[in-house]
Structure 1
Amino acid sequence: MSLILSIFCLVFATQLISWIGQSVLLELAYAAYIRVFYSSSVKQQRALKTEILAKKSELLKTSAQDHFAKWAKLRRSVDKGLADLEKLNAELAATRSSFALKFNGLIWILTSGAQFVIGWWYRKSAIFYLPPGWFGPLGWWLSFPFAPKGSVSVGVWQMACRRVIKLGERVVRDLTARPAHEVPAAATTEKAKEK
């Protein structure tokens, strides 16, 4: 793949992640991760919750004065179950925070880090050359910082791609926000005032 398309795809992927939301992607990835690697812990957690709820229900139905031995046994069982559930929840929470740290690091490396590395690696390369005299004395800015004079540098190309993608996002949002046949409310109130 050529450098021009690689940079565009990388910038687009970064913007796509920002549109979807990194937290949403984290939730989806974590759900898949937990199902694959910690399915037994999740099953154990569900079973413990079900068991605790059943025993709590039975505990509430048992009179502490009339059936003290049964009530005390149920109470100890519920307390032990809650302690086990708390321990399991702490383990899963630690797993989640560790996964979130690694996932966010990986996303940063694949998007922002990759853009930085590509920009640094190809800092002296030209993405493409412009016809002479198109931008007059401002042509040097497009080759900023190290690309040959009269060309577009990697950094400027990344900036242009990001701007075009954001502009496209805004256009799509405006088109999907309201149908074309609707008139904004401000325009209708101004027409009413004129009459």
Structure 2
Amino acid sequence: MSIILTVFALVFLGELISWIGQSVLLEGAFALYLRLFYPTVASQQKKLKSDVLTTKAELLKTSAQDQFAKWAKLRRSVDKGLADLEKTNSDMASIRTGFSFKFNTGIWILTTGLQFFVGWWYRKAPIFYLPPGWFGPLGWVLALPFAPTGSVSVGMWQMTSRRVIKVGERVVKELVSPAPKEEVQEEKQSEKVTGGEKTE
């Protein structure tokens, strides 16, 4: 793949992750990670929650005065279940913390890190050359920081790609989103005016 498409793809990947939301991706990836590497911990946590809720519901239905032996047994069972659940939750939290660090590091490497690396590695390489005289004496700006004059550098191509993607995102949101609030308010005001005329 050429450098022009590589840089654009990296910028697009970074913007796509920010559109979806890193926290949303983290939740989905963590759920998959648990299923693949810690299936027993996840199922144990689910079973403990279910058992504690069932036992607690039964405890609430049991009278402490009339059925003390049964109530005490259920109470001990609830306490033990809660202690086990707390330990499982603690294990799950430590697994999540480790996974979250690895996931966020991986996302940073795939997006920002690779963009920095590609920008540094190809800092002197032109992405493409512009026709002479298009930007007059300001043509050297597009070659910053180290590309030959008359060309577009990797850094400028990254900035341009990001800007184009953001404008595209805004256009898509405007096409997909419902009517703006101002239009809705104007419609409501016109309905009030026409309603007022009818009542008069």
Q: d(CA) in 2 for partners of 1:66 and 1:119?
A: 77
Structure 2: which 5+ runs fail to align? 194-200
Q: d(CA) in 2 for partners of 1:148 and 1:65?
A: 90
Q: d(CA) in 2 for partners of 1:57 and 1:20?
A: 40
Structure 1: which 5+ runs fail to align? none
| 1:137-182 Cα shifts (integer Å, max 9, x gaps) | 1111100000011110000000000011111111111112247xxx
The equivalences for 1:14-29 within 5 A come to 14-29=14-29
Aligned to 1:37: 37
RMSD: 2.1
Deviation at 1:68, TM superposition (A): 2.1
Aligned to 2:119: 119
The equivalences for 1:74-113 within 5 A come to 74-113=74-113
| 1:20-76 Cα shifts (integer Å, max 9, x gaps) | 111111111111111111111111112111211222122222222233222222211
Q: d(CA) in 1 for partners of 2:184 and 2:84?
A: 59
Q: d(CA) in 2 for partners of 1:72 and 1:184?
A: 64
Aligned to 2:169: 169
Q: d(CA) in 1 for partners of 2:51 and 2:170?
A: 51
Percent same amino acid at aligned positions? 64
| SS in structure 2 of the partner of residue 172 of structure 1 | helix
Aligned to 2:156: 156
| SS in structure 1 of the partner of residue 173 of structure 2 | helix
Question: Which amino acid in structure 1 is aligned with residue 154 of structure 2?
Answer: V
Aligned to 2:198: none
Aligned to 2:67: 67
Q: d(CA) in 1 for partners of 2:60 and 2:174?
A: 57
Taking a change above 3 Å as real, the CA distance of residues 114 and 60 of structure 1, as seen in their structure-2 partners, is same
Aligned to 1:49: 49
